[in-house]
Amino acid sequence: MQLKEVGLPFVDVESPTTHTFLTEHAPELLLQHDIENLDVAHVRGPNRLLTRAIAGWAYSRTDEHGEPLYAGIRYVSRVGDFECWAVFDGAHVELDSTQDITVDDPALREVANLYHLSFGPMT
């Protein structure tokens, strides 16, 4: 596992604060999806077009010098309640530390069991 540090903030599409901000500052984006007031049911719905549209909106936001405002988005997977982070192309990411993941790692085994994955012989 590698831990990384990112300088720009991520847009947390699960957060009520983000929902309020987007409802106020990006109404045209929401209206394209027939949404007047964004909430978690919209972003967690089966149609991920809205989440992708929010990501596109965040990716295109820049400051007065043309520099990006966001490093990516944070969301929860539709498959289980897994936390996901989409890092935008061009985001500055620095390696903070590393840790080996072994085949007997409990977290790795949990995910493998959840998805019925098995490991072949290790050489």
Distance CA 118, CA 95 (A): 30
Give the whole-angstrom CA distance, residue 31 versus residue 37: 9
For position 123, what pLDDT does the model report?
Answer: 54
The pLDDT score that the predictor gives to residue 122 is 63
Residues in Cβ contact with 109 at an 8 Å cutoff, skipping those fewer than 6 apart: none
- State how far the alpha carbon of 30 is from the alpha carbons of 12, 42, 45, 54, in Å: 16, 10, 14, 9
According to the model, what pLDDT value does residue 47 have? Answer: 77
How many angstroms separate the CA atoms of 73 and 58, rounded? Answer: 8
For residue 45, what pLDDT is reported? 84
pLDDT of residue 109: 92
pLDDT value at position 80?
75
What residue ranges of the chain have pLDDT lower than 70? Answer: 1-6, 122-123
Q: How confident is the model at residue 6, as a pLDDT?
A: 57
**pLDDT at residue 117, rounded to an integer:** 92
